[in-house]
């Protein structure tokens, strides 16, 4: 009877096999039985079962590039392959679309020891993010498994990624296709959006130690802005109710070399000895174009809740005290 119930559950809720990456905002169903692994060059590799020297495999990677395009990304990939692979050749290359996003497909070959390897690589672009998928096999095995790769590509899904700060426990959603840079500056993450007239709309998320409250931090930032920003003009002040608390908001203008006028909004919140700031920056004429994306990031901002005793713990303590009294 238990076996029948288990089979019924498997029928109602069949197991799924796939790759889901919330940090970069995409997923796809991968071949059943293909083993997942990682290396230093790509996010993941799925290899077909077998004992051969080079079984068919699917590689998955993401590239973040600003001020670029599909042509430049493909050229860079080809130059890299030509420098590391023996007898590298591009046999076919064509443009297309996946999920209504521009894509580029490249078919190439190279020598790997005594084998000739063949690869179909598909790069899908969404704004500043490039999703890179490759199917690699020995030439004699290529046709037999190519259909499996294309079936995987048919299941591709792209969605808003989650950025998490493991040290602070903070998290937020950011727009799909925006490039992320959390390496260049310490305690600061930059999200790069659309480029307009040579300026890349962006959102900066930053933290710093702060013992005071939010109001004191905002006043301190206003003083620094007046000192550091050329042509600083404060336009608006306000507050926003967020899941993490209530932020204080400043909308202001300033100039960068050019001169170019910039419009920005900074939302700031202090809690538990830390100040959090999310700053949206764009050209004034493009401010409204991505403001809703910024609001989405702001409304998704989460901080860990205070660790309060759970109801289960209260019940356990009550029962323990009750039992001791009875004894």
DSSP string, 106-165: EEEEEEETTEEEEEEEEEEEETTEEEEEEEEEEHHHHHHHHHHHHHHHTT-EE---EEEE
> What pLDDT does residue 17 have?
62
* Average pLDDT estimate for 298-326: 53
Indicate if the pLDDT at residue 35 is higher than 80: yes
Q: Which tokens go with 273?
A: 């000895």
The first and second tokens of residue 264, run together, are 């920005």
> Whole-model pTM?
0.84
What is the reported pLDDT for 166?
Answer: 72
Residue-wise pLDDT for 143-155, tens only, equals 999 999 999 999 9
pLDDT score at 251: 98
- At 29, which helix (H) or strand (E)? strand 26-29
HSE on the CB side for 19, CA within 13 Å?
A: 25
Please give the pLDDT value at position 319: 37
Question: What's the CA gap between 149 and 245, in Å, rounded?
Answer: 46
Going by pLDDT thresholds of 50, 70 and 90, the confidence category of residue 174 is very high
> Is the model's pLDDT at 306 over the cut of 70?
no
Q: How large is the average pLDDT for residues 276-287?
A: 97
Tell me phi and psi for residue 117, to 5 degrees: -105, 145
What average pLDDT does range 243-249 have in this prediction? 94
Q: Is the peptide bond between 259 and the residue preceding it cis, with omega within 30 degrees of 0?
A: yes
pLDDT at 222: 97
Question: CA-CA distance, 175 to 293, in Å (whole number)?
Answer: 6
Question: What strands lie across the sheet with 230-242, from one edge to the other?
Answer: 179-181, 188-196, 199-209, 274-282, 260-271, 245-256, 230-242
Q: Where are the domains of the chain?
A: 14-158, 162-300
54 DSSP 8-state letter: S
Q: Evaluate if residue 134 carries a pLDDT over 90.
A: yes
Q: What is the pLDDT of residue 29?
A: 97
**In this structure, which topology does domain 14-158 adopt according to CATH?**
Protein Transport Mog1p; Chain A (3.40.1000)
Indicate whether 186 pLDDT > 80.
yes
Same fold, 14-158 and 162-300: yes
Rounded mean pLDDT, 301-318 = 52
Q: What is the mean pLDDT of the chain?
A: 88
- Name the CATH superfamily housing domain 162-300: Mog1/PsbP, alpha/beta/alpha sandwich (3.40.1000.10)
Q: Indicate if the pLDDT at residue 289 is higher than 70.
A: yes
């Amino acid at each position: 009877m238990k076996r029948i119930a288990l089979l019924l559950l498997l029928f109602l809720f069949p197991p799924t096999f796939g790759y889901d990456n919330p940090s970069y905002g995409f997923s796809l169903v991968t071949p059943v039985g293909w083993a997942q692994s990682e290396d230093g060059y790509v996010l993941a590799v799925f290899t077909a079962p077998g004992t051969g020297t080079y079984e068919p495999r699917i590689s998955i990677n993401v590239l973040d590039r600003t001020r670029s395009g599909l042509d430049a990304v493909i050229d860079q990939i080809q130059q890299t392959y030509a420098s590391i692979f023996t007898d590298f050749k591009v046999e076919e290359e064509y443009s297309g679309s996946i999920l209504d996003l521009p894509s580029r497909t490249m078919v190439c070959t190279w020598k790997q020891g005594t084998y000739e390897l063949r690869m179909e690589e598909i790069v899908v672009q969404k704004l500043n993010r490039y999703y890179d998928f490759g199917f690699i096999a020995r030439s004699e095995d290529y046709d037999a498994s190519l259909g499996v790769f294309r079936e995987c590509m048919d299941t591709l899904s792209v969605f808003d990624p989650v950025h998490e700060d493991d040290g602070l426990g903070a998290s937020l959603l950011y727009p799909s296709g925006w490039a992320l840079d959390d390496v260049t500056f310490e305690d600061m993450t930059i999200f790069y959006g659309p480029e307009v007239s040579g300026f890349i709309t962006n959102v900066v998320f930053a933290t710093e130690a702060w013992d005071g409250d939010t109001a004191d931090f905002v006043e301190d930032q206003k003083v620094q802005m007046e000192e550091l920003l050329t042509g600083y003009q404060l336009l608006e002040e306000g507050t926003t109710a967020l899941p993490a608390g209530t932020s204080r908001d400043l909308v202001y203008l300033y100039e960068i070399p050019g001169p170019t006028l910039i419009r920005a909004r900074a939302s700031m919140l202090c809690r538990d000895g830390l100040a959090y700031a999310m700053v949206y920056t764009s050209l004034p004429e493009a401010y409204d174009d991505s403001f809703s994306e910024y609001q989405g990031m702001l409304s998704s901002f989460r901080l860990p809740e205070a660790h309060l005793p759970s109801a289960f713990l209260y019940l356990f303590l009550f029962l323990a005290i009750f039992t001791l009294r009875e004894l």
